[in-house]
Amino acid sequence: MSIVRRTLIAAAAAAAFAAPFAALAQDIKPRLIRFGYGLNEQSNQGRAVKVFAEQVQKASAGKMRVRAIGAAALGPDVQMQQALIGGAQEMMVGSTATLVGITKEMALWDTPFLFDDAAEADAILDGPIGQKVMDKLQDKGLVGLVYWENGFRNLTNSKRPIAKAEDMDGVKLRVMQNDVYLDSFKLLGANAIPLPFSELFSALETKTVDGQENPFNTILSSKFYEVQKYLSITNHVYSPWIVLVSKKWWDQLSKAEQKVLLDAARASRDFERKDTREEAGRALADLKTKGMQVNEVPPAEVARMRQKLERINANVAAHVGGDLWQETQTALAASRAKK
Ligand code: TK8
Domains and CATH numbers, the chain: 29-337 (3.40.190.170)
C-beta of residue 268 within 8 angstroms of C-beta of residue 148: yes
Which residues are CB-contacts of 322 (< 8 A; sequence separation ≥ 6)?
none
Distance 25 CA to ligand 1 centre (A): 40
Q: How many residues does the chain have?
A: 339
Tell me the percentage of the chain whose pLDDT exceeds 70: 92
C-beta of residue 179 within 8 angstroms of C-beta of residue 100: yes
- pLDDT tens for residues 136-173? 999 999 999 999 999 999 999 999 999 999 999 999 99
C-beta of residue 193 within 8 angstroms of C-beta of residue 175: yes
> What mean pLDDT comes out for the span 280-296?
97
Hey, CA dihedral for 75, 280, 101, 187, is it positive or negative? negative
CA–CA gap between residue 278 and residue 280 (Å, rounded): 6
Look at residue 274 and tell me whether its pLDDT is greater than 90. Answer: yes
Tell me if 154 CB under 6 Å of ligand 1.
no
pLDDT of amino acid 339: 84
Q: How many Å is the maximal CA-CA distance in the chain?
A: 99
pLDDT of amino acid 29: 82
Protein residue closest via CA to atom 1 of ligand 1: 38
> What mean pLDDT comes out for the span 314-337?
97
Mean of the per-residue pLDDT values of the chain: 94
pLDDT of amino acid 19: 47
Among residues 51, 9, 84, 11, which one has the least CA distance to residue 265?
51
Distance 38 CA to ligand 1 centre (A): 7
Closest ligand 1 atom to residue 198 Cα is 6
pLDDT of amino acid 21: 47
- Which helix (H) or strand (E) element contains residue 220? helix 216-221
pLDDT of amino acid 16: 47
C-beta of residue 181 within 8 angstroms of C-beta of residue 192: yes
> What mean pLDDT comes out for the span 7-29?
52
pLDDT of amino acid 22: 47
Protein residue closest via CA to atom 5 of ligand 1: 197
Bridge partners (DSSP) of residue 245 are 91, 143
Tell me if 196 CB under 6 Å of ligand 1.
no
Look at residue 33 and tell me whether its pLDDT is greater than 50. Answer: yes
Other C-beta atoms closer than 10 Å to the C-beta of 205 total: 14
Look at residue 20 and tell me whether its pLDDT is greater than 50. Answer: no
First to last CA, the chain: 90
pLDDT of amino acid 7: 53
Look at residue 18 and tell me whether its pLDDT is greater than 50. Answer: no
C-beta of residue 72 within 8 angstroms of C-beta of residue 198: yes
Tell me if 176 CB under 6 Å of ligand 1.
yes
Distance 22 CA to ligand 1 centre (A): 43
- pLDDT tens for residues 61-99? 999 999 999 999 999 999 999 999 999 999 999 999 999
Tell me if 244 CB under 6 Å of ligand 1.
no
Q: How far is CA 146 from CA 143, 190, 307, 311, in A?
A: 10, 33, 31, 30
pLDDT of amino acid 90: 98
Burial of 80 (0-12, 13-18, 19+ CB in 10 A): buried
Tell me if 59 CB under 6 Å of ligand 1.
no
Closest ligand 1 atom to residue 38 Cα is 6
